[in-house]
Amino acid sequence: MITGKDERSLWAIQRLREGWKPSDLMKQGFTESQAKKLSQFRNCLMQLEEYCQPEHVQKWSQLGLNGLFLLSMFREKDWDGLGEILMSIEPNIKRDDLIEYPTLIKEKRDRLREVEKNVKYKVRDLEREREKLEQTIDSIEKERKKIKKLLPELFHEVTNDDALDFLMDHLGLRNDRPCLAKRLDYNWQRNLKKKGIIVFKEEVHPEDAWEKIRTHYVLDVLAIAEDFQKRKKRGYRTEYNYEYVPQNDWVYWDIPEEAEYWGIDSLSKLIGQKITQEKKRLKEIEQEMKQAEEGLKSFRKRRPESFSEALNRSNQFASFDMEKHGNLQALGLKWLYNKGYMVTTELTLPDNLRCDVIGVDKEGKICILECKASYQDFKKDEKWQRYLKYCDSYYFVAEKDLLYWMQIDSQCTNVGLLKAHSKHLEIDRECKPMSKAEQAEDTAFNIGRQLSRRFSFGH
């Protein structure tokens, strides 16, 4: 059997190198088909020796006549693609699999161009954002000196920058006295109360004698700064997270989800700066740029067959997105319900639009949440703006990485953004005022009717 690797084939290839023609091989007992294939194989071998690396020539020799299924690559003189294929396959590869490789190489290149374009735009946007942040942080450092002059009695002994940032973000002023503008970690705040560092007071509202103002006054700012540094060093929590609040400590009302206390602005807001957020985002930008560039390098190195494997896994990816989408819907239901809405999912609106999550409050105002599990899901959705006329507020629900692309999308400037955590949603950007919802009464009735149907029939 003539394979291009057996002794008789090797003898014939050597004769062809010496100037023999296919007709000469036929005189030695080779069939016309065998002589033609061996001649093609020899021609390809000589081109590889001229244009490719020695290891590519070796791989070609190991393939034998099966390599002729890659003739299209020789006709196109695609030496880079041919070399990549040869280094990606084993000599015993099946014929049917080898035939697919030219197509796989083309798919990889098309996808690589798309990835390079996306990475280029992302890095460009990140560099612009980094430049603005660096300017902002520079002004923050200058503003820091002003802060100590404005409030010397509070911060003149605080020397640690991280502690100062934390205090600026969590402390505010009421009655010219320092107080908490944001809740601290629940257990830490309780301990500070026991130590007398924080004191809770209820005071009569100056404009309404029936209303009480609740304030957590801070009696020792330096003590909190020192305690903060100790907790950070030991890896203890400092930020408030309602998931770590014991339920039995809140019997008569719901556990607050937000860290901010009502009616008190943090010192960082009072001076118009977001010190900790800006520095944190700058670190995230550096990491995102590094990940994008490393991801591109990794993508270039991927073997062509990985695209075939990815194709086979596409259904698994689809089911993964569906599961993520369902989790986002569940978080959206909980968030809207806690805001005082009567809520449901998959409600059909006029124009055959179907809402991921929709709710109506006691004033009859409609809120719609659109859940996005992936960047592709977001970019392919061309109908979401048609929902806006049927609601009084509209929010996208997504994870942090996807929210970044929504923030810079010019079409999303007026809608709200909700950041998804493992067990709750956080407002990333409030929805701007919208015109009154059309057919709001019909929508409210349909929400109630759908809930009734599910209760009655289970679907």
**At 412, which CATH number?**
3.40.1350
Tell me whether residue 118 is in a domain. no
For the CA atoms of 321, 347, 426, 197, the dihedral, rounded to the nearest 10 degrees, stands at: -130
Mark which of 42, 63, 93 sits at the end of a domain: 93
Q: Residue range 200-215: average pLDDT?
A: 82
For residues 405-421, average pLDDT: 87
Same domain, 85 and 139: no
Nearest one of 179, 225, 213, 175 to 199, comparing CA atoms: 179
Q: Does residue 299 lie in a domain region?
A: no
Residue 124 confidence (pLDDT) above 60: yes
Long-range pairs of 17-24 with CB within 8 A, sequence gap ≥ 24: 17/42, 17/46
Q: Are residues 262 and 334 located together in one domain of the fold? A: no
pLDDT exceeds cutoff 60 at 304: no
Identify the pLDDT of residue 307. Answer: 44
- The pLDDT-based confidence of 311 (bands split at 50, 70, 90) is very low
In total, how many domains does the chain have?
A: 3
Which of 273, 302, 333 delimits the end of a domain?
Answer: 273
Q: 256 and 338 in contact (C-beta within 8 Å)?
A: no
In a shared domain, residues 452 and 330:
yes
> For 221-249, how does the pLDDT look when each residue is reduced to its tens digit (9 = 90+)?
999 999 999 999 999 999 999 888 887 65
pLDDT score recorded for residue 405: 80
154 shares a domain with 43: no
Work out the average pLDDT over 247-253: 57
* Average pLDDT estimate for 26-39: 93
Would you state the pLDDT for residue 35?
Answer: 93
| pLDDT of residue 309 exceeding 50 | no
- What are the counts of helices (DSSP H) followed by strands (DSSP E) for the chain? 18, 10
372-400 tens-digit pLDDT: 988 777 887 888 999 999 999 999 999 88
Q: Let me know if residue 112 belongs to a domain.
A: no
Burial class (CB in 10 A: 0-12, 13-18, 19+), 283: exposed
**Neighbouring residues of 137: CB distance < 8 A, sequence distance ≥ 6:** 278, 279, 282
- For residue 168, the model assigns a pLDDT of 86
144 with 202, same domain: the answer is yes
Q: Which residues pair with 217 in a beta bridge?
A: 179, 199
Quick count: other Cβ atoms within 10 Å of Cβ 243?
A: 11
pLDDT, position 310: 43
pLDDT at 249: 58
215: left (phi over 0), alpha (psi -120 to 50) or beta: beta
Phi and psi at residue 209, to the nearest 5°:
-65, -20
Q: Decide if pLDDT at 357 tops 90.
A: yes
Per residue in 82-108, pLDDT (tens digit) is: 888 888 888 888 888 888 888 888 877
Measured at the CA of 322, the angle between CA 367 and CA 398, to 5 degrees, comes to 45
Q: When comparing pLDDT for 171 and 122, which is higher?
A: 171
The residue out of 217, 249, 273 marking a domain boundary is: 273
> Are residues 256 and 186 in contact, defined by beta-carbon separation less than 8 angstroms?
no
CA dihedral 412, 415, 419, 424 (to 10 degrees): -160
Instruction: Return d(Cα 94, Cα 66) in angstroms, integer.
Output: 9
Backbone angles phi, psi at 394, to 5 degrees: -140, 130
Confirm whether 370 is domain-assigned: yes
What average pLDDT does the chain have? 83
Q: Which amino acid is at 81?
A: G
The residue among 156, 157, 160, 184 whose CA lies nearest residue 170 is 184
- My answer on whether 170 and 251 are in the same domain is yes
Q: What is the rounded distance in angstroms from the CA atom of residue 247 to the CA atom of residue 126?
A: 41
Highest average pLDDT, of 72-86, 198-212, 314-328, comes from: 72-86
Asked if residue 185 has pLDDT above 90, the reply is yes
Give 251's pLDDT tier (boundaries 50, 70, 90): very low
On whether both 337 and 451 belong to a single domain, the answer is yes
Is residue 306 pLDDT above 90, yes or no?
A: no
- Asked if the structure places residue 388 within a domain, the reply is yes
Contact 137, 282 (CB under 8 A): yes
Domain ranges, residue 172: 133-273
Phi, psi of 194 (to 5 degrees): -60, -35
Tell whether the model's pLDDT for residue 147 goes beyond 80.
no
Structural domain contains residue 169: yes
Q: Say if 264 falls within a structural domain.
A: yes
Q: Name the band, by pLDDT with cuts 50, 70 and 90, for residue 144.
A: low
* Average pLDDT value for residue range 391-412: 87
Q: Please choose, from the candidates 371, 271, 283, 291, the residue with its C-alpha nearest in 3D space to the C-alpha of residue 327.
A: 371
**CA–CA separation, 122 and 116 (whole Å):** 10
Express each pLDDT in 321-349 by its tens digit. 677 888 899 999 999 999 999 999 989 88
| Domain presence at residue 293 | no
Task: Identify the residue whose tokens are 């010219």.
Answer: 176
